[in-house]
Amino acid sequence: MSDTELTEVSGACLCGKVTFAASVETGLGACHCGMCRQWSAGPFMSVNAVGPVTLTGKENIGRYSSSDWAERGFCNQCGSNLFYRLLPRKGLPDGQYIFSAGAVSDQSKFQFDHEVFVDHAPHWYRFADEAERKRMTEAELLKQFE
């Protein structure tokens, strides 16, 4: 988001057969959409990669096309969720990896600064200190991509 900085991180799935390295924004986000919840039980907490990413153990990466514009990556050995990836398209020629914040080794620089699909959050959880973050509904988020 706006005043976010970049930090170099690396990470891995639970079993370690897949690793990744990338430059990511320090501003961490939560997605409350139903698909992320079905995929990961709660909100998907993630950080946006900027520029090229390095993936190892590619033969162990399962990719699921969850929509026309994105896929979800996971370790097909241990089941860890690894990333949400926006596919290349007009205005985003290289696509974009959005990594699971929980899979990053050093999370010390992250700041929880935005939530999306807030209108899709279930009634059974709520984060504290909402006023400290940018919060967007589905319509507000999709408007950014028009």
Residues that bind Zn ion (CB under 5 A): 13, 15, 17, 31, 33, 36, 75, 77-78
Give Dmax over CA atoms of the chain in angstroms.
Answer: 42
Of the pair 50, 57, the CB lying nearest Zn ion is at 57
What is the spatial distance between Cα 9 and Cα 103, in angstroms, rounded to a whole number?
10
Amino acid at 130: E
Of the pair 78, 86, the CB lying nearest Zn ion is at 78
Q: How far is the CB of 29 from Zn ion (least distance, A)?
A: 10
Mention every residue, 6+ apart, whose C-beta is less than 8 A from residue 141: 116, 117
Of the pair 13, 47, the CB lying nearest Zn ion is at 13
Q: How far is the CB of 48 from Zn ion (least distance, A)?
A: 13
